[in-house]
Structure 1
Amino acid sequence: MTLQQATVRVLVLNPNSSTSMTHGVEEAIRSIGLPKSLQLSTYTAPAESPASINDGGDLENSTAVVLGSFDIEHAAQNYDAILVACFSVHPLVTELSKRLAGTKVHVTGIFEASLVTALTLLPAYPFGGPNTSTKTWGIVTTGKFWEQHLTDGAAAFLGHQGGPQSSKFAGVYSTGLDAGDFHGGVSPEVIRAKLKEATKGLLNSSDVGCIVMGCAGMAGLEEIIREAARDQYGEEAGNRVFIVDGVKAGAGLLDQAVKNARLFQE
C-alpha cells in the first residue's frame, strides 16, 4: 500500500450537545466524496454542554464539559487527527493539542482550516498591473459576538498584532442568528434572508474572491451564498467566488496533514 492509500482516521468533534448538528456536519463531509483511505468518526459533547455555542461563556463551558469526559488515551491510540467542529477560536484546539503532544495526532478546528484554505484559493500576489485590485476573503457568521472574536482570531492565527493587517482580509459579517437557528430554530425563509443580507454586506466591502461560512450549522447552505454573489457581482463573476465550508476544509486539510507528516517525518 502506498503512502497516499494508507488509512487516515479522523475524529470530528462537535463540542456542543446537538446531535442534529453533528449529523449535519457528517453529511457535509461525506458529500465531498471522501477518499477511501479516510476513515471518519464523530463525537458529540455530553448533554451538559451548550446546545449552541453563541459566546465566550459557551466556549468555556463546552471546553470544560468535553475535557471532563473525553478519553485522551483512546484518542491517541485510535485516531490520526481530530477536527474541532465549531467555527471559533475554540480552546479545545489548544487544550487537546497540549494533551496529545508527543503523539502523532493532529488537531485543528474548522476556523483555522478555513483560513488556510481561503488563503490558498486566492492569488498569492496581485497581477495585471498596478491598478489591479487585490482579491479578498471574508467570513459570514452568526451572531454579533463573533465579529470581534473572529477578527481577533484571524489576526492571532496569521501572526499579526493589533488587527488582521491584511489587504486580503475583508472582515466578518454576521446574520444575527445563532448556530441552533440553522437547525430548526427559525424558518428557512428567515435564514435565507439573513444569510443573503450578511453575504451582500461582505461582497460590498471589496473585491471578494472567497467567502468563508463561519458556522458549522451553515453546512449545506452554499447555494444561498452563491445566489447573493450572483446578485451582487453578476452571473459569471458570482460563479467564480469560492465558498468555503469549514467542515469540508478541515477534513481535507487534516487528511493531507497526516499524509504530509508520514511523508516528511516518518
Structure 2
Amino acid sequence: MSVNIVRRTTKILVLNPNSSKSMTHGLDGGIRAMELFPSTVIHTYTAPKQSPASINDGNDVLASVEVVKKDLEQTNLLLQYDAVLVACFSVHPLVGFLADKQGEFGNLAVTGIFEASVLGCLSLLRPGKKWGIVTTGKFWEEHLTQGVKDFLGIESGVLNSKFAGVYSTGLNAGDFHGGIDPELVRQKLRETTAQLLERGDVECVVMGCAGMAGLEEIIRSVAADKYGTQRANELLVVDGVRAGISLLERMVRSRKAFQRT
C-alpha cells in the first residue's frame, strides 16, 4: 500500500496600487491578525514610485492603473498566484482588467476591496437593517454611490433601502498613516460615522479606505454613544482587505471544485 500526502497551497497577492509603502505596511498588520486556512499564503505588493502616493480622485485612479498594468505585464508577477485583491477602495479598473486576463496571468480569482465589502455587508445584514460607507474625500461620495448601483445592477435612480449612503471625512488616504495629527483623524472619523448612524438601524459600517485598517474601535465608540454598548458590540465594521481575502479563499476553492480541470 502507498500513501501520498497532497497539499495545495493558495497564494493570494494583496495589491496596493498606490506607491505608499507605509500604507502597505498598515495592511500587513491587519492581515497578520486574520484567521486564515492553514494552506493560505498572503503576499503584499506596493506599486512602483511612478504611481500616486495617495489615490484621492479619478485622475489618481487612472494614473495608478497605467503604472501597475505596465509593471505586472513586464514582470509576469501574477503567474505565481491563485488570486489577487486590488486594495484600493474604489471602482478600480484593475479589477476588471485582471479578471479579463484569464489565461495570460493564469486562472486568477480577482476582486477589489470595494466589491468584497459590498458582498460582505449584504451577506451579514439582518432583515430591516442598513449598511453604509465612511470614506475619505468628497469625490468618493458620488463615485462610490454610483459604484454600488452598478455593482448591484440597479438601473433606476433609487438605491436599495438597505443602503444608507456614503459619508466622507474630508481627509485623504495618506492622512490615515501619519499625514496629519492622529487626533484630527479620530475626530473626523467620529463625526462622519455619527452622520451615517443618524440614518437609523445601521448594522454594518464599511471602512471605505484601505488606510482605515485598525480604526474599527473609533467607529464602534460612536455607535456606543448613539446605540448603547450592546448594540455597538454587535455592529459589523467591515475592513475591505479582510473581506477581500476571505472572499478570495472561497473563490479559489470554488473554482477548483466547479471548473473543469
State the TM-score bracket (shorter-chain normalisation): over 0.9
Structure 1 unpaired stretches of 5+? 127-133
Residues in 2 aligned to 1:39 and 1:239: alpha-carbon distance in whole angstroms: 30
TM-score scaled by length of structure 2: 0.93
Shift of 1:164: 5.7
Deviations 1:177-206 (A, max 9, x none): 000000001111101100010001000012
Counterparts of residues 29-44 of structure 1 (less than 5 Å) = 29-44=31-46
Shift of 1:234: 0.7
Q: Which residue of 1 aligns with 2:165?
A: 171
Residue 43 of structure 1: CA displacement? Answer: 1.1
Q: Deviation string for 1:123-171 (max 9, x for gaps)?
A: 2xx3xxxxxxx10000000000000000000000001114462011000
Counterpart amino acid of 1:141? T
Contact 1:49/1:65, CA 8 A, preserved across alignment: yes
CA apart distance, 1:232:
1.0
Partner of 1:51: 53
Q: Does 1:152 align with 2:166?
A: no
Could you tell me how far apart the structure 2 residues matched to 1:2 and 1:112 are? 36
SS in structure 1 of the partner of residue 27 of structure 2: helix
3-state SS of 2:107 partner? coil
User: Aligned pair count?
Assistant: 256
SS of equivalent residue, structure 1 residue 99: coil
Give the aligned partner of residue 197 of structure 2.
203
Distance across 1 between alignment mates of 2:145 and 2:152? 11
Specify the alignment match of 2:79 in structure 1: 77
1:96: how far off? 1.5
| 1:53-202 alignment runs, 5 A limit | 53-71=55-73, 74-100=76-102, 103-123=106-126, 126=127, 134-163=128-157, 165-202=159-196
Secondary structure of the 2:180 match is: coil
Cα RMSD over matched residues? 1.7
User: Once the 2 structures are TM-superposed, how far is the Cα of residue 101 of structure 1 from its aligned partner?
Assistant: 5.1
CA 1:203 to 1:98, structure 2 compared with 1: closer, same or farther past 3 Å?
Answer: same
**Unmatched 5+ stretches in structure 2:** none
CA–CA separation in structure 2 for the residues paired with 1:89 and 1:232: 31
- % identical equivalent positions: 56
1:170 alignment partner, SS class: strand
